[in-house]
Chain A
Amino acid sequence: MIETLLFYTIVITVGATAGVSLYGIVVKPHVVKKLVLLTVLSDAVNILVVLFGYYSKAVSPPVYPGGSLEGFVFPSSGELWDFSSVSVDPMPQVLIVTAIVIGLAELTFLSLITFKLGSLHKTLMFNRMEAEEE
């Protein structure tokens, strides 16, 4: 019983973190703080999606043990049934691997844009950046 309680506290707190960082992105005027909270939001959501695949009897990651370059004794269907009954769902992890790597590439782009934005407007405070009058 304590395990389910702990698991649901984890899920709820990660959801709360996503909510808080979403609020921070909207409210806080400093552009870099928005970027920091954006990273926190994307990480929280990634963690939430990873938790979709977990269940109480899961003990092994979605990798069948024993693989090596020299060769791999392919399992029989019986062994695979035991493997699939204790393994975590691979699908959320597949989607999140690329999401994390693209998160970094996007963050590089965003932080360069923020740097140029800041040096152009002489300030990083969003509410103090006036648009140029044409």
Chain B
Amino acid sequence: MKKQLEDIGLVLSILLGVLLTYYLVRANIVSLTYGNIPLANLYLLSVPDPSSPFTSRSPEVVTSVVWDQRGYDTYFETSVLFLAIIGVLYAAGSSSLVEKGSLIATVIPRVITKLLFPVIIAVAISVALHGHLTPGGGFQGGSIFAVAPYMYLLIYGRSRLEGKGFRSNLLLFMRSLAVVLISLVGSIVLAIGFLTGVEAFLFQNQPKPPFSPIGFPAYIQLPWGGIFLFSGTLMILNVLEFTAVSTGFTLALIVIDSIAGGRE
């Protein structure tokens, strides 16, 4: 009897899922013939176009909406991330970070880890640094980066990882510094606007001509002729978010591995 009940429940849940999605299809939210809705066109047309008031002078619409148009909201999502990691540290607080028996893995994983460690870090940094130009950004780069020390931690154990520079207090300090700097960068333009009596917004990136004339510069004229395009706050916030996410996840993984790792 119990088995049939479970099967019936399963079929009902599938029907529920299908019903919900069918409603989405009927309500034209998920549809193929529908072109871009006006909101999408607003962002797609205005972000890369330097002449529009909502520009952030960056070809990458997703990252510029994450950090420029929606920067205040992303800041609180970063603080949610911050609190989740603080929760991990707090929950693990009672049992000390004891060093489990360092059972060194066989030679093959060790060699692969030694080879892959710099590669993963290089990929992560390049994804984070090019966040405002190509798909990528602080969040993606940080989560890629967290794989490298974790792999190193599994193979070589925590003491070798700490030897390599990933000490817990350093990670925690870098993390808090990055989140503080993110809020600083977000409120610099507002502070300047407040001091000089000009209208400005929180997490403002480029000057918005009719509303507020001040803002971050979009690129620097390099002495040897070229320009270095960093689209105002986008690259700076991407780099800071990269440090925040990577140090946060590395710290959380180190802590959870030492608590629940248990290599007797």
Task: Indicate whether A101 sits within 8 Å of B81 (C-beta atoms), given known contacts A55-B33, A63-B61, A91-B65.
Answer: yes
* Cross-chain contact A74 with B81 (CB below 8 angstroms): no
* Cross-chain contact B22 with A112 (CB below 8 angstroms): no
Task: Indicate whether A80 sits within 8 Å of B84 (C-beta atoms), given known contacts A20-B13, A22-B13, A68-B133.
Answer: no
User: Can you name the residue of chain B whose Cβ is closest to the Cβ of A86?
Assistant: B36
Task: Indicate whether A85 sits within 8 Å of B36 (C-beta atoms), given known contacts A23-B9, A102-B77, A112-B88.
Answer: yes
**Complex contacts, A55 vs chain B, CB 8 Å:** 31-36
Instruction: Write the nearest CB–CB distance from B85 to chain A, whole angstroms.
Output: 6
Task: Indicate whether A56 sits within 8 Å of B17 (C-beta atoms), given known contacts A89-B40, A97-B66, A112-B256.
Answer: no
**Complex contacts, A131 vs chain B, CB 8 Å:** none
Chain A residues bordering chain B, tally (CB within 8 A): 65
* Cross-chain contact A3 with B32 (CB below 8 angstroms): yes
* Cross-chain contact B14 with A20 (CB below 8 angstroms): yes
Determine which of A15, A51, A84, A98 lies in contact with B77 in the assembled complex, contact meaning CB atoms within 8 Å.
Answer: A98
Interface positions, chain A 43-67, Cβ under 8 Å from B, are 48, 51-57, 61-67
* Cross-chain contact A91 with B39 (CB below 8 angstroms): yes
Determine which of A17, A68, A108 lies in contact with B84 in the assembled complex, contact meaning CB atoms within 8 Å.
Answer: A108
Contact with A along B128-153 (1 / 0, CB 8 A): 00101111010110110000000000
CA distance A12 to B23 in the complex (A): 10
**Complex contacts, B41 vs chain A, CB 8 Å:** 84
Query: Is B213 among interface residues, defined by CB-CB distance under 8 A?
Result: no
* Cross-chain contact A112 with B135 (CB below 8 angstroms): no
Task: Indicate whether A15 sits within 8 Å of B248 (C-beta atoms), given known contacts A3-B32, A97-B139.
Answer: no
Query: Is B177 among interface residues, defined by CB-CB distance under 8 A?
Result: no
Among the 9-residue stretches B105-113, B165-173, B222-230, the one with 4 or more Cβ atoms under 8 Å from chain A is: B222-230
User: Can you name the residue of chain B whose Cβ is closest to the Cβ of A56?
Assistant: B32
CA distance A26 to B254 in the complex (A): 31
Chain B residues bordering chain A, tally (CB within 8 A): 79
Query: Is B16 among interface residues, defined by CB-CB distance under 8 A?
Result: yes
Interface positions, chain B 79-129, Cβ under 8 Å from A, are 80-81, 84-85, 87-88, 91-92
Contact with A along B32-66 (1 / 0, CB 8 A): 11111101110111001111000001111110011
* Cross-chain contact B87 with A109 (CB below 8 angstroms): yes
**Complex contacts, B140 vs chain A, CB 8 Å:** 97
User: Can you name the residue of chain A whose Cβ is closest to the Cβ of B37?
Assistant: A89
Task: Indicate whether A77 sits within 8 Å of B81 (C-beta atoms), given known contacts A20-B10, A65-B59, A98-B74.
Answer: no
Interface positions, chain B 12-36, Cβ under 8 Å from A, are 12-18, 20-22, 24-25, 29-36
* Cross-chain contact A77 with B45 (CB below 8 angstroms): yes
Query: Is B200 among interface residues, defined by CB-CB distance under 8 A?
Result: no
Task: Indicate whether A70 sits within 8 Å of B227 (C-beta atoms), given known contacts A20-B14, A90-B44.
Answer: yes
**Complex contacts, B255 vs chain A, CB 8 Å:** 112
* Cross-chain contact B13 with A19 (CB below 8 angstroms): yes
- By a beta-carbon cutoff of 8 Å, the part of chain A in contact with chain B is 3-4, 7-8, 11-12, 14-20, 22-23, 27, 48, 51-57, 61-72, 74-75, 77, 80-81, 83-85, 87, 89-91, 93-94, 97-98, 100-102, 104-106, 108-109, 111-113, 115-116
23 A-B pairs (CB sep. < 8 Å): A11-B21, A19-B18, A20-B10, A23-B10, A48-B21, A51-B30, A52-B29, A54-B32, A57-B35, A63-B59, A67-B133, A68-B229, A70-B227, A75-B49, A83-B48, A84-B40, A87-B61, A97-B140, A98-B77, A100-B139, A108-B256, A112-B91, A112-B259
10 nearest A-B pairs in the assembled complex, by CB-CB distance: A19-B17, A15-B21, A23-B13, A67-B133, A105-B84, A67-B59, A84-B44, A89-B40, A64-B59, A56-B32
